[in-house]
Structures are given as structure tokens and as C-alpha cells.
Structure 1
Amino acid sequence: MKKILVIEDQPEMRRSLETTLEMEGFEVLLAEDGRMGLELALAARPDLILCDVMMPGMDGHGLLQVLRADNRTAHLPFIFLTARADKQDARTGMNLGADDYLTKPVAKSDLLAAISSRLQRAEVQKRRLDGKRGEFKPDFSSPAIFANLGLSRREAEVLLWVAQGKSNGDIADILGLSEFTVKRHMAGIFDTLGVQSRNAAMLRALESMGSER
């Protein structure tokens, strides 16, 4: 049973998320603020974290920075849930290492799709790469790691975010491009890497990072 940590300061929203996730067969841990969420994340090691952004004390951005700086939690799938729909706010969260950014109220189908996608990505990464001796820690600091793949500079930048599970819309926001332009770069990536799907491109990227160890 996958374990999901929900960090949300609004009691009604917290209960609603708990009910939805438990009905889908998840084990749910609850925290009402960032400090409590950090303690639970370190103690319980959830498979995924759903977190509000605006909270008293330690907000979601502050919490994510702490988690990403700790080797024990650096690669936990992390999804922001927020009432704010500001693109700059979303870009800030993603630059800190968020895996997704959903605006409340979020439809059940969208929430479950996002969770499924992030858990699958984490499972793929573990299955393909953690079998190597030592812990695999992909370096997402620079697209230069893809220099041996034959991609253009911009394609390498796009692939770096694909490897982190970002959607075309996310990447467009982060890189300041149109979504159409991102799709065009994705087509170039598929052609150069000889793959036919986004997941296959992500795996090639992660494998390339693994080979650089």
C-alpha cells in the first residue's frame, strides 16, 4: 500500500483529501502545517507528498527547500495544491523541485492522475536505476549532462525538465516558451533519441545520467 502525506492547514480540505485517497487504497498521513509535515516526512518516509503552499509558519515552498536539501527526502515525489493560480507562483514551486502544481479545487480525476503519474515515475526510476550499486542521485543542475545525446541546447533544456516529470505546460512556463514550441522540441527529442513516447524519453535521460556516474 502506497503511503501519501497530506500537508494542508484547512481542516475540511484535509478531511476531503484523506477520504478520497483512502477510498483509492492509499495509506494517508495528515499534517496541518509545514513543521508537522516535515517531521512526518522524515519519520514516516511517505511515497508521495501533497502539500498546500500558503500555510502559517513554514509554508510549502520553505518545506520543499528543506526536503530537497536532505538526501533522505531529496527525491520524494512532491505535488503542490494551492488556491493560487498565478503562473509565477507555479514557476517558483517548480524551480524549487516540485513535481506538479495543482490548483484548488482540483477534480478527483486530475488529482489521482497526477498522483499515479508521479508514483509511476518514481517506480520506473527505482526499477531501472536503483539496482546499480550505491544510491542513484540524478543531477538535474544542468542540461550539459545530455551533451552526448546529440540534442540541441534547447532540446537538452526541455529534456532536463521532462526527466523531472514536468508537463509541456510546466516546461513552457519554466523556460518562458509557448507550449507549441515545447511540443516542437519534444518532437526533435523523440527523433534524435529514436523513441516514441515521453516515458521512453524520460528513461533515456535518466539512463544517460546514470551512465555519467
Structure 2
Amino acid sequence: MKSILLIEDDNTLRENIKELLELKGYRVYDAPNGEKGVENTLRYLPDLIICDILMPVMDGYEVYEILNNNKKTRQIPFIFLSAKSNPEDVRKGMNLGADDYLTKPFKEEDLISSIESRLAKYAILTENQKRQRGSGDSPGPEVSSLQELRNYFREQGQVLELNKNSAVYRERKNADFIYLIEEGLVKTHRMDEYGKELITGIYREDDFFGFYYFKDVSTYPETATALEDCLFYRIYNSNLSEILSSSHDLTIELAQLLSDNLSILKNHLLEMAYASVLKKTTNTILNFAEIMKAHHADDIKISRSDLASIAGISTESFIRSLSSLKKEGLIDIEGRNIKILDLSKLQKVRW
């Protein structure tokens, strides 16, 4: 009999799902919140976990991250259950590495189908691993999601610490490594034909960067520089190629991540081409504020020239736009720091 742990704070829904699963022949353990869910997972080591997202004490994302960082529980199939159905929430759940994401209200057959398919997939993977060990093969690292890849970087990667303004790698140098940021901010940039710096990306905590080549080793097409003191993990390109060759799911996730990044870059380039100077300045401030919010910071702390480069305008034009926004009371400038004073009005300028 397969066992399932159900983590759900709605008592009525929890009892209904538990009864349904027991009628289908599963042994069901339950928990009313995330903290109890982690405790029961370690206690019972179920075959599968179904977990709500919005819960008191500890939400579903926190539960997943704790269990995914524990070697005893990281392989347990995990299904998110939530009333949140917009694409960003679904993508967040799947990017963390969850096996599935069901939105409330759901059909009973959809829940059962998801459970059966995840258990079947896990059984096949387990059997293949046993066969590899039995045949004496040496399997590659077991990495099947972006979150597991982050864990692999932290456990197996080289640690690198750099001070603010230090180069992580330079254009035309051998592209040997892929990086994961543990702490700090990084920009990637290159020089155009007129000697002007163009910033091509901004990366923060938990972001990968340095993806350029997956087979033949070549050179970096741009430079990466630390915008503040940084801590990284890095692995060789060859290690990543080995991991991707044995994990179809991870390859698909990584392709989606790179596709999303290209879409963001495309929108940024279109904005640079057609938006007014004031709108470019506003968009840059708002976009960077979103990064800093995720980075647990209230102020934007980056040089004017870097912000201007991101916006695709001259530093002088950028500073004039900042002054205009300050006079209107939308932002405040303290030394090198920019603080948003009226977010709603600033967003209106954006469009």
C-alpha cells in the first residue's frame, strides 16, 4: 500500500481528500500546516506529498525547499495544491522543482491521475537506478529539476568570493564555467562598436548565469562583473553537459528558463528602441526595484552610469530624467541611492 502525506489547512477539504484517497487504497497521513507537514514527512517518509501553498506557520513553498534540501526527502514526489492559478504562481511552483501543480477546485480524476503518474514515474526511475547499479554502470549525478541543480552546485561546485566591481569572467576568455549566485548582484555587459557599454543582464541570488555553450568549449561573448560583494558556486561546462544528457526533464526546464530570459531581453531591446527617455528611465527604476525587492533591499544601490546603460540612454539624459521624477515627488535621491516614494504614480509614467 502506497502512502501519501496530505498537508492542508482547510479541515473540511483535508478530510474530504483524505477520505477519497483512502477509498482508492492509499494510506494517508495528514497535517494542518506546513510545520507539521515537515515533521510528519520526516516521521513517516511517505511515497508522495500533496501540499497546499497558502497556509499558516509555514507556506507550501517553504515546505518544499526544506524537504528538497534534505537527502532523505528530496526524492519524494511533490504535488502543489492551491487556489492560486495565474501563470506566474504555477511557474514558480514548477521552477522550484515540484512534480505537479493542481489548482482548486479540481476534479477527483485529475488528482488521482496526477498521483498515479507521479508514483509510476518515481517507480521507473528507481528501477532504472537499480539496474544501473546492478550492471556496474556509473550513473551521472541524479539531477532532474532546476532546484536540484541548485543543490548540486552548492554541494559539488567550487566556491568563489568576489568584491564589488570585480570581474567574474571576461569577454573572449575560455567559457569553462556555469555560475550560481548565492549572495550579491551581477551584471553582464559588452562594448558596442562605438565603445559604449551595453548591459545585457542583471542577475541576483539563486540565479544561474554563464550559459553560452553546452558542448564545445569556446569563449565568453561578454563580461560579467559583480555589482556588490558576491558569493558564487560554479561547475565546469562538461559537468553540466553530463547532467543534461541523463535528465530530459531538467533539459526542458533549463530550455524554458533560457527562453524566458530571451523574451525579457527582447522586450527590453524593443523598449530601448521605441520608448521615450522618461519612460526608459522609469522602466529601468521599476525593473531594478523588483530585483532589489527580491534581494531584501529597499533602495536601489547602483551607479547612475550602470542604470543608464541598462536603459539604453546617455548618463546625462538619465540624470535629467531622475531630476524630473524627483521634482514630481515620485522618487528621492540620497547620495548614490534611489528610493521610490510613489509607486502607483511611477507605474503610470511607465505606460
TM-score, length basis structure 2: 0.42
Structure-2 residue corresponding to 1:21: 21
Relative to structure 1, the CA distance from residue 57 to residue 112 in structure 2 (aligned partners, 3 Å threshold; closer, same or farther) is: same
Q: Distance in 2 between matches of 1:147 and 1:28?
A: 35
- Judged with a 3 Å threshold, the aligned counterparts in structure 2 of structure 1 residues 148 and 11 are, in CA distance, closer, same or farther, namely closer
- What per-residue deviation string (whole Å, max 9, x for no partner) do you get for residues 42-89 of structure 1? 010000000000001110000000000000001100000001101111
Q: Secondary structure at the match of 2:114?
A: helix
Match of 1:144 in 2: 241
1:91: how far off?
Answer: 1.1
Aligned residues: 163
Q: Gaps (5+ residues) in structure 1?
A: 150-155, 178-213
User: Cα offset for 1:176?
Assistant: 4.0
CA, structure 1 residues 136+60, in 2 after alignment: closer, same or farther (shift >3 Å)?
farther
Q: CA RMSD in A?
A: 2.9
Q: Which residue of 2 aligns with 1:193?
A: none
Distance in 1 (alpha carbons) for counterparts of 2:129 and 2:7? 29
How far did 1:2 drift? 0.3
The residue that corresponds to 1:160 in the other structure is 249
Q: 1:161 to 1:63 in 2, by over 3 A?
A: same
1:68-83 matched pairs, under 5 angstroms: 68-83=68-83
CA shift in 2, pair 1:98/1:174, >3 Å:
farther
Cα separation, partners in 2 of 1:47 and 1:56, compared to 1, 3 Å: same
The amino acid that maps onto 2:127 is R
1:4 corresponding residue in structure 2: 4
2:143 is paired with a residue whose SS is coil
Question: Which stretch of the first structure deviates more once superposed, 16-25 or 125-134?
Answer: 125-134
Going from structure 1 to structure 2, the CA distance change for 1:173 and 1:71 (only over 3 Å counts) comes to same
Q: Deviations over 1:87-108 (max 9, x none)?
A: 1111111121110000011101
Alignment of 1:1-213 (within 5 A): 1-131=1-131, 132=133, 138-140=142-144, 141=149, 144-145=241-242, 159-161=248-250, 175-176=259-260
| Larger Rg computed on CA atoms | 2
Q: d(CA) in 2 for partners of 1:148 and 1:120?
A: 22
Q: Decide whether the 8 Å contact of 1:8 with 1:31 is kept in 2.
A: yes
Identity of aligned pairs, percent?
35
- Residue 70 of structure 1 aligns to a residue whose secondary structure is coil
Shift in alpha-carbon separation, 1:144–1:117, aligned structure 2, 3 A: same
Query: Structure 1 residues 48 and 111, CA, compared in 2 at 3 Å: closer, same or farther?
Result: same
Is the CA contact 2:82–2:102 (under 8 Å) kept in the aligned structure 1?
A: yes
SS of alignment partner, residue 101 of structure 2 = strand
Compare the two structures and name the one with the higher strand fraction. 2
Q: Aligned letter for 2:101?
A: Y
Between the aligned partners of 2:50 and 2:258, the Cα distance in structure 1 is 21
More helix by share: 1
One-letter amino acid matched to 2:26: F
Distance in 2 of aligned mates of 1:57 and 1:146: 36
TM-score normalized by the length of structure 1: 0.68
Provide the secondary structure at the position in 1 that maps to 2:25.
coil
Structure number with the bigger relative contact order (C-alpha 8 A, sep ≥ 6) is 1
Cα distance in 2, alignment partners of residues 99 and 124 from structure 1: 15
Secondary structure of 1:46's aligned partner: coil
Secondary structure (helix, strand or coil) at the match of 2:62 reads helix
1:87/1:173 contact within 8 Å kept: no
State the one-letter code of the partner of 1:9: D
**3-state DSSP class of the match of 2:42?**
helix
